[in-house]
Chain A
Amino acid sequence: MTERDDDRSIVKRAEEFLQAFKKGAEFTQELLKENERLRFQLLELKESLRGPEKSYPSDSQDPEKDHLRRKVRDLEQERVEILDRIRQVEKENLDFANRYVEIEAENNKLANLYIASYQLHSTLDFREVLQIIMEIIINLIGGEEFGILLLDEKAKKLQAVASEGIATGDFPIVPMGKGIIGQAAQTGENYFIEEIAGYSRELSRPMVCIPLKIKEQVIGVIVIYKLLVQKDHFAEVDYELFTLLAGHAATAIFSSKLYSESERKLSTMQGFIELLTK
């Protein structure tokens, strides 16, 4: 064997030794970890055995049976507590569900009111405002036969300017304070009949009469004589819509009339100016 062969053999053995040493080190580390894990488990077991003994005194010869009985008692109590908690959560869920339905209804009501007021103030054209009021009465309230009467300030009389289901010309001209319509216009109070079912149409006796008010000044009234066949009673939202109509519809009518008048005056003035400057 040559010197070179000897060297190779030494290197090879050294490498083998290093490999063996590394494996040994890894094995030792694993053993240490395992040892740590087992110590932890042992501690846990000791704790679990010691725990119940502290709170529950032994009542038989067999500690294992005692332990199991206590465990069963604890579990039963836990079960009762869980069932109570479930009942409580179910009650809370029901409350939340009811609240959700209420909020949903409120949300729908607000949406209706918002759209009605938005539409009413979306134009300054008098005819268009009347049309929007009629759309609201049909689509949101469910009116089938109704009219819009406006007050002639000089004559102190109410006269129909728009209607649905009844010809506008058929409406009576109502003096302020006379009959149900005149009274509602004078007092500014909404009027509703007691029972919709027994009502029969009479133009001087509407089923609903809503004064159109700007602050306390009445500028007209909305009178309803018939509701859609599928609408047999007034809903809560209807009263809110009537209140909204009383204010917003009146403002919209008033603004549009004022605007039309000012437009007319403006065009007259422009006509004069053109005439003078020519």
Chain B
Amino acid sequence: MSAKNFKLLIVEDSPTMRQLIVFALKRVREFTIVEASDGVDGLKKIAGNRFDLILTDINMPIMDGLKLVSLVRNDPANKDVPIIIITTEGAQEDRERAMALGANEYLTKPIQPTRVLEAVKRLLKV
């Protein structure tokens, strides 16, 4: 494991789900985790910080995850930040749409902590 510290943003409206993801990722000491409750909250946090990876849900109030993905990809400062989508939407067309917008990984609920951690490690190359 690299000694470098990584800053991760979790954008998820369900506190239970957020806590589960945080629980899974906190096993890696080098990860600093910031939580956001929806797309707008996520954008605010992205504006004031530099993140190494973003995990987001799709269905959220105020701003959904797909909108967030497209805004992040259109932002020159964050266009290369890896994005993982964790969602209940399991249909192939939803996956394709998310990937076309610029998501790097598409994971479906119910959440499996091991899969989340594997995807994060793979994208961060740790």
The CA-CA distance from A156 to B16 in the complex, in Å, is: 33
Choose among B15, B20, B111, B114 the residue that contacts A104 (Cβ–Cβ < 8 A). B114
The CA-CA distance from A114 to B19 in the complex, in Å, is: 10
Q: Which of B1-25 contact A (CB under 8 A)?
A: 14-17, 19-20, 23-24
Choose among A111, A118, A119, A142 the residue that contacts B24 (Cβ–Cβ < 8 A). A111
- Could you say which residues of chain B place their CB within 8 Å of the CB of A135? 14-17
- In the complex the two chains form, is A115's CB within 8 Å of B20's CB? yes
- In the complex the two chains form, is A228's CB within 8 Å of B90's CB? yes
Choose among A108, A139, A230 the residue that contacts B90 (Cβ–Cβ < 8 A). A230
CB distance from A130 to the nearest CB of B (A): 13
- In the complex the two chains form, is B88's CB within 8 Å of A228's CB? yes
Q: List 5 A-B contacts (CB under 8 A).
A: A108-B24, A115-B20, A116-B16, A135-B14, A228-B110
The CA-CA distance from A119 to B15 in the complex, in Å, is: 8
- Could you say which residues of chain B place their CB within 8 Å of the CB of A184? none
- Could you say which residues of chain A place their CB within 8 Å of the CB of B113? 108, 111-112
Task: Give the interface of B toward A (CB within 8 A).
Answer: 14-17, 19-20, 23-24, 88, 90-91, 108-114
- In the complex the two chains form, is B110's CB within 8 Å of A140's CB? yes
Q: Does A141 contact B (CB under 8 A)?
A: yes
Q: Does A214 contact B (CB under 8 A)?
A: no
The residue in B15, B16, B113 that gathers the most chain A C-beta atoms within 10 A of its C-beta is: B16
- In the complex the two chains form, is A119's CB within 8 Å of B108's CB? no
Q: Which of A90-129 contact B (CB under 8 A)?
A: 104-105, 108, 111-112, 115-116, 118-119
The CA-CA distance from A116 to B14 in the complex, in Å, is: 12
The residue in B19, B90, B110, B111 that gathers the most chain A C-beta atoms within 10 A of its C-beta is: B110
Q: Does A231 contact B (CB under 8 A)?
A: yes
Choose among A105, A112, A118, A138 the residue that contacts B88 (Cβ–Cβ < 8 A). A138
- Could you say which residues of chain B place their CB within 8 Å of the CB of A132? 15-16
- In the complex the two chains form, is B19's CB within 8 Å of A115's CB? yes
Task: Give the interface of A toward B (CB within 8 A).
Answer: 104-105, 108, 111-112, 115-116, 118-119, 132, 135-136, 138-142, 144, 228-231
- Could you say which residues of chain A place their CB within 8 Å of the CB of B111? 139-140
When C-beta atoms are compared, the residue in chain A nearest to B92 turns out to be A229
Using known A-B contacts A115-B23, A228-B88, A228-B108, determine if residue A108 contacts B114 with beta carbons closer than 8 Å: yes
Using known A-B contacts A111-B23, A111-B24, A115-B23, determine if residue A136 contacts B112 with beta carbons closer than 8 Å: no
Choose among A111, A229, A231 the residue that contacts B110 (Cβ–Cβ < 8 A). A231
CB distance from B14 to the nearest CB of A (A): 5
CB distance from B64 to the nearest CB of A (A): 16
CB distance from A10 to the nearest CB of B (A): 71
Nearest 10 pairs of A and B residues by beta carbon: A230-B90, A142-B110, A229-B90, A135-B16, A230-B108, A139-B17, A119-B16, A135-B14, A108-B113, A115-B19
- In the complex the two chains form, is A139's CB within 8 Å of B16's CB? yes
Instruction: Using A111-B20, A228-B108 as known contacts, list a sample of 13 further A-B pairs with CB atoms less than 8 Å apart, ordered by residue number in A.
Output: A108-B114, A111-B23, A111-B113, A115-B23, A119-B16, A135-B15, A135-B17, A138-B14, A139-B109, A140-B16, A142-B109, A228-B88, A228-B90
